[in-house]
Structure 1
């Protein structure tokens, strides 16, 4: 009798394929939550989502259960799932408390890798500035944007700037915490009135963070990051 195989499970196994499908469905539903097509309070039908995504109801149900755990959707008895309501002022405050603790800790660690970080941070800041220019161009004066793709690009560039600093801390658990917070950061932005923006302030504050890293002062980046996060929190609460 031949011995039992001790090889690890094949990457083509049904279990791995199912997980990959569930993760893909999760990402697709998350994009719907963040692109403005399913605003807070919208119903999320499992069968209709399955038809739209071309999958069976099972991975849709699994993805929604996962989203319920993160607070992005709520399950209502006898009514299925709904997109969670906008963050309350208390939740916004808690979110920024978490961001300040995480990002200031990341900045303090990233300072040791400033030489490697600064060139990438300059490039990320340039992309953020270009995305901001596109928003101003499409939404300034009498111009009217036909969708929210410009905002999604802007917010993605904004978050990418922060994520570079978090990754420069070289701590995998900090990076995982940032990934967990990212959906809630984007969700918070959905609650802000699309007619008012803090683009100019955010660009100026990112410029100050970049300059702080370039200065060589090891304490300057943390001060600049705190000023930025506290400013974003204040503006978010004013618009909530």
Structure 2
């Protein structure tokens, strides 16, 4: 049959995802502060796109809890709610525990090297007190077992709840508590390389479960 002419293009999908990621990251890193009103026309002009992908991105951000939308009225960056954060943190911890449980002892030498390289960048960012760079390196570190697990349902859950938790991570990396994450990363690498599945699962879970709640992060 002929190829349909009205199918969405890859470029359009990539544009939609890029706009979402740009706004998500701006909320996580504090460019847009909790309680700040977001206007799609202003956001579209800032990013240099039409209002349609911005509106679509805001809808996705609302489902993950990063913005609050009142139909016909306004969209604002959500406040950091302790209960919502704790619930998302526990789900994220369980997903990373699952990913590590499926991959500990099975990661290739190249994958272990990627974890070590990401952790070196993480250590450097902490030493330079660059919380944003630490967050990127931390994402790269944990992405290795998640990608290796190749579990689409797991990845979907992390995509949904991860952004809310990243705000708490940024708070941790801005404090002296970030050094504990570095030590847990090193321990996790060693356990994964040694094939200690249960030990690696415990460390993976504790790494995320120990993130501070709102009162501790403030």
Output the TM-score relative to the length of structure 2: 0.84
Larger radius of gyration: 1
Is 2:167 the counterpart of 1:174?
no
Contact 1:110 1:165 in 2 (8 A): yes
Residues 68-108 of structure 1 deviation map (CA, whole Å, 9 limit, x = unaligned): 2222111235541111111x222222122202221111111
**What is the RMSD of the two structures over their aligned residues, measured on CA atoms?**
2.6
Structure 1 residue runs of 5 or longer lacking an equivalent are: 1-5, 136-149
Alignment of 1:87-236 (within 5 A): 88-116=81-109, 117-135=111-129, 150-189=130-169, 192=171, 196-233=175-212
- Contact kept, 8 Å, 1:35 with 1:152, in 2: the verdict is yes
| Aligned 8 A contact 1:163 1:178 in 2 | no
Once the two structures are TM-superposed, the CA of residue 198 in structure 1 deviates from its matched residue by: 1.3
Gaps of 5+ in 2: none
Give the length in aligned residue pairs.
216
Distance in 2 separating the partners of 1:122 and 1:194 = 18
Q: 1:14 to 1:214 in 2, by over 3 A?
A: closer
Q: Choose 21-30 or 106-115, whichever is displaced more.
A: 21-30
Comparing 217-226 and 93-102, the one that deviates more: 217-226
Runs of 4+ in 1 over 4 A off after TM superposition: none
User: Residues 42-57 of structure 1: matches in 2 within 5 Å?
Assistant: 42-57=36-51
The CA deviation at 1:155 is 0.8
TM-score (norm 1): 0.77
